Amino acid sequence: MNVQPRPTFSFRLRWVALLPLVLAGCTVGPNYERPAVPASAAYKSGAPGESVAPQLDREWWKVFHDPTLDSLEAQAVRENQTVLAAVARVAQARAVAKGVTSGVYPSLSFDPSVTRARSSGNVTPGVPSRTATATVLPFDLSYEVDIWGQVRRAVEAANAQVLASVADAEVVLQTLEADVAQDCFTLRSYDAQYQTLTGTVASYQKQLDLTELQFHAGLESAADVASAEALLDATKTQQLEVGRGRDEEEFALAILLNHAPSEFSLPRQPLNLEPPVIPAGLPAELLRRRPDVAEAEANLAAASAQIGVAVSAYYPQLSLTGAAGFESISTSNLLDASSRIWSLGPSLSLPLFNGGRLDAAVEQQKAVYDQMLAQYRGQVLTAFQDVENALTDLHARADEARAQDAAVKASQDYLRLTQLQYQQGLVDYLTVVDADRTLLTNQLADEQILNERLVSTVLLIKALGGGWEGLPPAPTR
């Protein structure tokens, strides 16, 4: 009789180790594919014949060649609390993904124990009571075989959430950088307006003093004095309002730089920068350069993977559990071969009836995917809109700047001519007052338009992605 040798424990264990490789490989649920989105060949507000634009530098604010702005941006990026919170969210997402990825591997634990117990002598006839110490050194193994890809889909979803958190951090960072630039330019625009008003107040004070002297000499009327005084007071009011606006911008800038408003001060520096030319490029380039679009797509990919997690619950779940170690009532023979213990057993779980719970879970995840899809497509359209708005603003304000420069020059000529006519007695003092007001209004408007052009340039840079180069490769387990 030919007797086959009985498989040893180590032989059987090798087969168990190979079982996951045999069973794994089937992944249920949809594989993610980027959905189609509308993209035109060119921007409606773009320059005619514009082609692919060069990649912006990540430190895009350096195109303004302003050392003050460079310093503020560096400090904000380093110390802003909102950015630090976004970085912490990235670390949190990566830790979650690491935890989910651990489900791919078996779980092994070592749980030693020492128990001293006394048995009763009145339970089994003829068996006396006994006191003994049991020492156990077990290694416990558990592993859920990922037959249908439930764990793999969960890892896929977690990795997509990591990418979404990275893109979100970039959105937060770009928003901070744009806010710092806008606040800096607006604050310095207030400085330019304050400088203009300060010179005008000094000029109006001289005019008032001269008018009062002429009034006492009988050369001017009381109405002329009152008019000059009213013009001076109104201009002082404008100066105070500009100062208030500057204080508020400085307070906002202090918070962005992680300072209490009382601990931060920026010296007065009138705005005199020339807005740089920023090529918009083609709409097709925009989708890979916008972190908010990348974040929306990463959330969509995560939702797609979660459908697979929900679908896998329809199928049988196979788990392997085992234990091996040593057990003895004496430490002297604890590690002997006769003290060895082991157990091994697979378990299979098959859902038969759950009242529609699994169906509801799949429907829920599909609805989440549809929601993320709508948000992704909406974000793409918003990206195109942001660029169009910024381009329109830039073109319109460039035209406004040219017209306003001409208005300032004409106002200067108007004031000069009315002053000559007033000295010759050809016009009354109210005409000079009107010319003064016209020039001041046009000068302040000119300074405000320069700020608006610079802010529009910042918004265009942000709309184009702020020099961002896209997401890193997806994390792998």
User: What is the helix (H) or strand (E) element at residue 135, kind and residue range?
Assistant: strand 130-145
Q: What is the pLDDT of residue 14?
A: 46
Q: Which amino acid is at 353?
A: F
> Which tokens sit at 153?
């889909």
Residue the block writes with tokens 């003829």: 126
What is the number of residues in the chain? 477
In a domain, 28, yes or no: no
Phi first, then psi: give them for residue 229, nearest 5 degrees.
-70, -40
**208: closest CA among 229, 235, 239, 238?**
229
Which residues fall within 8 angstroms of residue 341, CB to CB, at 6 or more apart? 136, 138, 323, 324, 325, 326, 327
In a domain, 185, yes or no: yes
In a domain, 477, yes or no: no
In a domain, 408, yes or no: yes
Give me the residues paired with residue 117 across strands.
132
In a domain, 88, yes or no: yes
Q: What is the pLDDT of residue 2?
A: 41
In a domain, 396, yes or no: yes
Mean pLDDT of successive 10-residue stretches along the chain, which has 477 residues: 41 44 68 86 70 81 95 95 94 93 87 84 77 83 87 93 96 96 96 94 89 85 88 93 96 95 94 90 84 96 95 89 84 82 84 88 95 95 93 94 95 93 85 89 95 96 91 62
How many Å apart are CA 180 and CA 455, to the nearest integer?
A: 11
**326: closest CA among 313, 339, 316, 315?**
339
- Read off the DSSP letter of residue 77: H
In a domain, 473, yes or no: no
Q: What is the pLDDT of residue 15?
A: 41
Contact (Cβ atoms closer than 8 angstroms) between residue 351 and residue 311: no
Write down the pTM of the prediction.
0.84
Q: What is the pLDDT of residue 18?
A: 45
Whole-angstrom CA distances from 360 to 307, 316, 317 are 11, 18, 19
How many Å apart are CA 166 and CA 154, to the nearest integer?
A: 19
Domain count, the chain: 1
Which residues form the domain of 411?
Answer: 34-105+149-316+364-463
Contact (Cβ atoms closer than 8 angstroms) between residue 142 and residue 319: yes
> Which tokens sit at 51?
């082609």
**294: closest CA among 380, 366, 374?**
380
Contact (Cβ atoms closer than 8 angstroms) between residue 305 and residue 156: yes
User: What is the helix (H) or strand (E) element at residue 30, kind and residue range?
Assistant: none
In a domain, 3, yes or no: no
Q: What is the pLDDT of residue 256?
A: 96
How many Å apart are CA 321 and CA 300, to the nearest integer?
A: 36
3-state secondary structure 140-196: EEEEEECCCCHHHHHHHHHHHHHHHHHHHHHHHHHHHHHHHHHHHHHHHHHHHHHHH
User: Residue 65: which CATH number?
Assistant: 1.20.1600.10
